[in-house]
Amino acid sequence: MNDVLIEKVVVSMGVGPEPERMKRAVQIIESITGRKAIKTFSEKRIPLWGVRPGVPLGLKITLRKQPAMDFLKRCLYAKENKIAKKSFDNNGNFAFGVKEQIDLQGVKYDPKLGIMGFDVLVSLQKKGYRIKRRKIQQSVVGKAQRVTKEEAQEFVKSIGVELNE
């Protein structure tokens, strides 16, 4: 019950309000993950940036189970299997960015699409965490079933990643 598992991997990309750049970003993120992207929309109005509520500003894709692990390994290889310790939060999640999509194995440069970076956010959990989200008899997750920062770092070390200061 104390084994740390990957709950999900969220791949996100901030693009901005330009529609042409959004189309290119959708093609890039769908080609590297093999899944359909979902657009994220602005909620605030920022006149200096030309942003108003309802304007699409970014993309995200959620991966679970084996596709999540495979994609995470590809991204960690692009980062030379190194993550900073400050990338971990107190709830056992971690995040890092990949500066260029061509850093991933098997991705070729396409001059029509250009080069864009993306963020990878990894959520970890232990078995038994499902009681928080189930429909019938929802309950609070006990302290022993929460993933700590240290347990998350040990999990990352176990899959062959080095931690930097």
| Model pLDDT, residue 61 | 92
Order of all β-strands in the sheet with 38-41 = 38-41, 56-63, 4-14, 118-126, 94-98
Domain count, the chain: 1
User: When comparing pLDDT for 131 and 71, which is higher?
Assistant: 71
pLDDT digits (tens, 9 = 90+) for 11-29: 998 887 788 888 888 888 8
Read off the CATH number of the domain in which 49 is found. 3.30.1440.10
- Domain extent at residue 89: 4-164
CA distances from 150 to 46, 76, 118, 164 (A): 39, 19, 26, 14
Instruction: Indicate the pTM of the whole model.
Output: 0.82
